[in-house]
Structure 1
């Protein structure tokens, strides 16, 4: 999703109430997406002879990956137990998300738009 498309999606989502189940579905989708990216990182970082520090960091990355997956499943379980008539105003919340693509995907999910996994490699790379 381009930054312009993300901004338009966020702007249009700010004006309408959204069902809580759709909002949570978008969040679960993002958690699942992050889990997929973390799995890719594990593959990249898992070299032939990692040193003990790297092994410890890989274990932390594995725990993070499992946690993201478990959180996504938990949120989808919550959705199954929610009444269908709970609505939210997301305007302020979405405008506070600093990552425009993420805000756009959350807005699209909240609107009930089907979400498609993007290539995690397509994001900008910043050296901190």
Structure 2
């Protein structure tokens, strides 16, 4: 059994984020925030970057490092004709996606599309597929 861990490359962590975001999109937690519950207080189906980092086994402050990971997910969704799953991850202070978020119809409309999608009927992307997206959109910008 393999586990996600510190030191995993961006495509592997992006796959982990996919699993967390699809759960939030489908289960649509009610937005009631409880310390250490893993559910952000921003409303149904949203998760803050800080809470996402915590669910990934990181310190909440690691949230600032997740933009490329979320970008990989956004571009993968765009490539596959899916709503951009990354738009349900939001800034801890504003409750909105951060600068540079991959979107198709504006983040509010995209969030509605994400919540309407049948995420559990899709197979999660492989690390290889996410690596190809990373290489296309981010690898040259390192």
- The reply to whether TM is greater than 0.5 is no
Rg larger for: 1
Higher relative contact order (CA 8 A, sep 6+): 1
Could you state the TM-score of these two structures normalised by the residue count of structure 2? 0.27
